[in-house]
Structure 1
């Protein structure tokens, strides 16, 4: 039995489908089971509730051999430590109590870099990894740069203003990754019972691109001019807080992008194992273009 947390997330949806296609027995932890497609619901067990809840994650881990762990990093949390480390503590206790053999978690690039101790959400994610590893369970953190999927938050700006807005240095070439490729890596690890101990597996798209280059590709795919505009950290923080994000979580987002602009995402070497297949152009054609057209 494999437990999947956040099964309706952008990674979780791909992961559930990948694992079911390979014949895995799954138990999904979901606050709202109605968000799970009917064709999926009839093929899995469901534990209703938040995986932050000690009783919920305890029920989910009973009899499980492996767990996929994704802390959502909710912007309403009082701090990044609460969002990642405190969120994960009940799960670590459940892993030990029920003898879970393997845990695969989603985390961030940055370990070992000078920026990692002051990188906001990334720093908290790495502390979460340390907490899980300290429980004694075999653990692999799937560490990622920014998701291509994040650009879907900018569909309206692309349609109405012909541009997208980030804190990222416009000329800094960095990796990005498609969520379906993250899910494929997680599926491989969850089904492989040959690894032990703790460690990281990086997921890097096949190319490094700057936001300026991304805008050029988006323009070509959409057939219309799309530009990129860098915004200052203070403006991003104000915007996030306007959407209900707490001040510490908004600052943690700003700190993360500051660290990324200093090259944090470029520290992991691209190897055959870490390179994922989906190019940014392919993602734009298959995901962004239909979203803009909708």
Structure 2
């Protein structure tokens, strides 16, 4: 039995789609089962509720061999690391209680991020908590999601601009969520691995935000530019959109770590994933902008 968390989320949905036609039975934890596809409701065992709830994960992990784990965001939290850890503790108890064999979790790329790197630090702390159970574990150490740009489709369409705190001419490691999901599905279906390790996930590109703007301009056939957002303005924007002080500061600390080169070492050494930024723009961004 494979258990999938966040089955209606951007990554979890793609993991689930990759597993539904396989021979392994699949169980999902869904806060709102009505958001699942008809195919998922027909073929997967559905446990309703939040995977941050102890009773829910205790029920869902019974008989599970493998678990896909992803902590959903909570921009209102008063502690970023506390959010990641509090959400994961009940799962760790259920992993131990039910003898789950393998866990695959979405984590983050980066070195030197064990402290003072906001959401990156919190994700590493979550990994360490899962590892403390002794379960065989793979952390999907993902670079910045290309899909984050989908939150700026209106600005790209109407203003020809997207906004990033990253320095415009500095290389930024990115990854398409389809490649995270494909790696997760492969590991969940493979019962031969053991031990605890990380899997760096980066695209084949070595491009800066300025390069991203050039590629977007070519694919969309309209001028697009990247507007650098100073970190103080980045924080004010997050606060203006309803984020807590802790969440907004976590975003700033994460961006500062990225700017300071947290991704660089693994970006150079990692085996690249298949999807390049141009392909992603053609297949994902362009349809979203033209919709």
Q: What range is the shorter-chain TM-score in?
A: over 0.9
Q: CA RMSD in A?
A: 1.2
> Equivalent residue for 2:274?
277
Matches within 5 A, 1:1-294: 1-110=1-110, 113-270=111-268, 274-294=271-291
| Distance of 2:187 and 2:275 partners within structure 1 | 19
Report the alpha carbon displacement of residue 274 of structure 1 after superposing the two structures with TM: 3.1
Distance 1:198 1:38 in 2: 35
Post-superposition shift, 1:174?
2.3
Unaligned runs of 5+ in 2: none
Is the Cα–Cα contact under 8 Å of residues 73 and 80 in structure 1 kept in the other structure? no
Q: Is the 8 A contact 2:173 2:267 kept in 1?
A: no
In 2, Cα distance between equivalents of 1:212 and 1:22? 41
Distance in 2 of aligned mates of 1:152 and 1:285: 13
Q: Where does the alignment leave 5 or more consecutive residues of structure 1 unmatched? A: none
The answer to whether the Cα contact below 8 Å between 1:201 and 1:274 also exists between their aligned partners in 2 is no
CA separation in 1, counterparts of 2:249 and 2:188?
A: 34
What is the count of residue pairs matched by the alignment?
291
> How far apart in 1 are the matches of 2:113 and 2:61?
35
- Contact 1:72–1:83 (CA<8 Å) still a contact in 2? no
Cα distance between partner residues in 1 of 2:225 and 2:255:
20
Question: What secondary structure, in the 3-state scheme, does the structure 2 residue paired with 1:278 have?
Answer: coil
Distance 1:233 1:29 in 2: 36
| SS in structure 2 at match of 1:155 | helix
1:196-217 deviation digits (Å, cap 9, x = unpaired):
1211011110111100000000
Query: What is the CA-CA distance between 1:169 and the residue it aligns to?
Result: 0.9
Distance apart, 1:269 and its partner CA: 4.9
TM-score computed with the length of structure 2 as normaliser:
0.97
1:94-152: CA deviation from partner (whole Å, max 9, x where unpaired): 00000000000000012xx3344211000000000000000111111001110010000
Secondary structure of 1:8's partner? coil
- Are the counterparts in 2 of residues 104 and 141 from structure 1 also a CA contact under 8 Å? yes
The TM-score, its normalising length taken from structure 1, stands at 0.96
Q: Distance in 2 between matches of 1:266 and 1:121?
A: 17
Provide the rounded CA distance (Å) in 2 between the counterparts of 1:276 and 1:21: 23
- Is the 8 Å Cα contact of residues 33 and 46 (structure 2) preserved in structure 1? yes
